[in-house]
Amino acid sequence: AQSVTQLDSQVPVFEEAPVELRCNYSSSVSVYLFWYVQYPNQGLQLLLKYLSGSTLVKGINGFEAEFNKSQTSFHLRKPSVHISDTAEYFCAVGKTSYDKVIFGPGTSLSVIP
C-alpha cells in the first residue's frame, strides 16, 4: 500500500535559521508529490508540487523541495525561516494508478524568535 512518512512530528527552529522538513514515500511507480501548509485555524493550501521534469521545485514564501527518486524522498527546505512560517506542513503523494492523494501525518514547524 502506498504510504507517506514524515519522521519529524515537531520541528522547532530559531528565526532566520535554515530548516528541512523530511518526507519519504513508498511507491514503485511514478508519483506526483505535494507539500501543503496549514496556518493556525485555517485550511490547507498548496506550497509546491512536483509533477515531472526538474527535481528541484520552488514554491511560495521561499520554500523549495527536491525530488529524489532513488531515496523516494521529497524534502522541503527554506534557507531562512520567519515567524510567519510557523504552521503545520503536510507532504502528500498521488500516482496515476490510484486516483486519491495520500497525506502524511504532518510536521509542526515552530519558529522561535
Partner 1 sequence: DAGITQSPRHKVTETGTPVTLRCHQTENHRYMYWYRQDPGHGLRLIHYSYGVKDTDKGEVSDGYSVSRSKTEDFLLTLESATSSQTSVYFCAISESGQPQETQYFGPGTRLLVL
Beta carbon nearer to partner 1, 13 or 35: 35
Bridge partner residues of 44 (DSSP): 38
CB of 99 to partner 1, least distance (A): 6
Shortest reach from residue 80's CB to partner 1, in Å: 26
The 8-class DSSP code of residue 61 comes to G
Task: Return residues touching partner 1 (CB under 8 A).
Answer: 4, 6, 9, 32, 34, 36, 41-46, 49, 51, 90, 94-96, 98-101, 103-106
Total residues belonging to the chain: 113
Nearer to partner 1 by Cβ, of 32 and 86: the residue is 32
Q: Which residue, 32 or 77, has its beta carbon nearer to partner 1?
A: 32
- In the chain the first and final C-alpha atoms are separated, in Å, by 41
Q: Are 6 and 91 in contact (CB under 8 A)?
A: yes
Please state, in angstroms and rounded to a whole number, the distance separating the CA atoms of residues 90 and 95: 17
Using CA atoms, how far apart are residues 73 and 80, in angstroms rounded to an integer? 22
Work out how close the CB of 38 gets to partner 1 at its nearest, in angstroms, rounded to a whole number: 8
Nearest-approach distance from CB 45 to partner 1, in angstroms = 7
